[in-house]
Every structure is written in C-alpha cells, then in structure tokens.
Amino acid sequence: MPAGIEDLCHTLRLSGLAAAVRELEPGPCSEEILGFLLRALESEYELRLARKRLNAIRIAGFPTMKRFDEVVVDLLPDDGRAYLSVLKQLQFIEEHQNILMIGNSGTGKTHLAIATGVLACEQWYRVMFKTTAGLVNELVEAKQERRLTYLLRQLKRVDLLILDELGYITFDLAGAELLFQLLTFFTPASHPLAPESPSPGRRHTACRCR
C-alpha cells in the first residue's frame, strides 16, 4: 500500500479501508484505483480540517467574523498599525504575553481582537471570546451555584482568552474580585503589551494567553 494512503487511513481512522486496500491484487487497474483513492482521501482530510476550523471558531463565541484582510490599515491609529504584525504572528501566545488594546469607540480594537482570535483558531489554538461584563456575570453565577472552580478550570484550558470592553463597564466589588481572580489564575506571570496605560472613559480589549 502506498505510504500516503496508509497515513491518511490512519489519520482519518479508516482501518477497514486500509485493510481492504492491502488486499487489493496488483493489476492493470490497481494503480488507477490507488491514485483515485489517494485523491479522495486527501479531499476528505482537507474537508475534515475545514470543519474542525469552523467548529473551533464557533466554539470560541465570536459575535461576528472578522479577518485581517478586511482591516483598513490606513484607518487604524498609529498604535494599531504598529502592533498589527505582532497580532498576525501569534507569537505572543507561545510566549504567554498579553495584549491590551486601548482607544475610543470605532478605532478597530474589537475587529483586531476577533481577527486575531479567528487566525488563532485556524492555527489550532483554543480560543474564547467574551465581553468582560458577560464573563463577570458568568463568574458570579458560577460562584453562587458552587461551580466556580469548574468554570475556572474550563477557562484555563484555552490558549487565548479575549475580553472585550474591558474597563468600559464598572463592576461591584464581588464581580471585580472574581475578574481579578480569573486573570491571576489565568497567567499570573505574564504581562500586558500595551502602547499606553488604561485611562477612564476609554474602551479596552484584552487578549490573555495561557
């Protein structure tokens, strides 16, 4: 059996098909059959990869689909243009660094955050997108229902946690403490890559890495 077919059968978990191919008698048509089978398996493999990527994007919970090729670079603020290559490379995930995007409404923070998350999903990173207010509500409910530890463990499994509208909405003391607990639990030794310090009245989008 050709190595390509055997490898694909193993990857796709088609042991029955692999066994049938091994029993194929050499003949005038066998090469043609094997060639067709290899192309079919390659197509199935690519289809499954595409479905896996789409499923990862769905699970991440993005409010809409955004990609880097949709970004109008000239409309980004200077800081956004400066950090665009950093976001695209995704190296900050491997280095356990954080990204903090700061600016007024309409400056492209959420677009860049979603585009980064979608790209990370397509590169097989586990990603989760949350509004900060929504996540705090989940944390509060989880604590009330005595499943906070379970929720924190679920969040810990992701490689990239994107928090939108960080600093835009104020929380009560309990909610703020839970958010702080999550952030320290997530990456206690990491640090933000921020072009400037947070300031009142401005929206922030944070990408935190495990």
Give per-residue pLDDT as tens, 112-139.
999 999 999 999 999 999 999 999 999 9
pLDDT band at 39, cuts 50/70/90?
very high
Q: Residues 45-71: what's their mean pLDDT?
A: 94
Q: Residue by residue, what is the 3-state secondary structure of the chain?
A: CCHHHHHHHHHCCCHHHHHHHHCCCCCCCHHHHHHHHHHHHHHHHHHHHHHHHHHHHHHHCCCCCCCHHHCCHHHCCHHHHHHHHHHHHCHHHHCCCEEEEEECCCCCHHHHHHHHHHHHHHCCCCEEEEEHHHHHHHHHHHHHCCCHHHHHHHHHCCCEEEEEEECCCCCCHHHHHHHHHHHHHHCCCCCEECCCCCCCCCEEEEEEEC
Lowest mean pLDDT among 16-30, 146-160, 185-199: 185-199
CATH of 68-209, one of 3.40.50.620, 3.90.220.20, 3.40.47.10, 3.40.50.300: 3.40.50.300
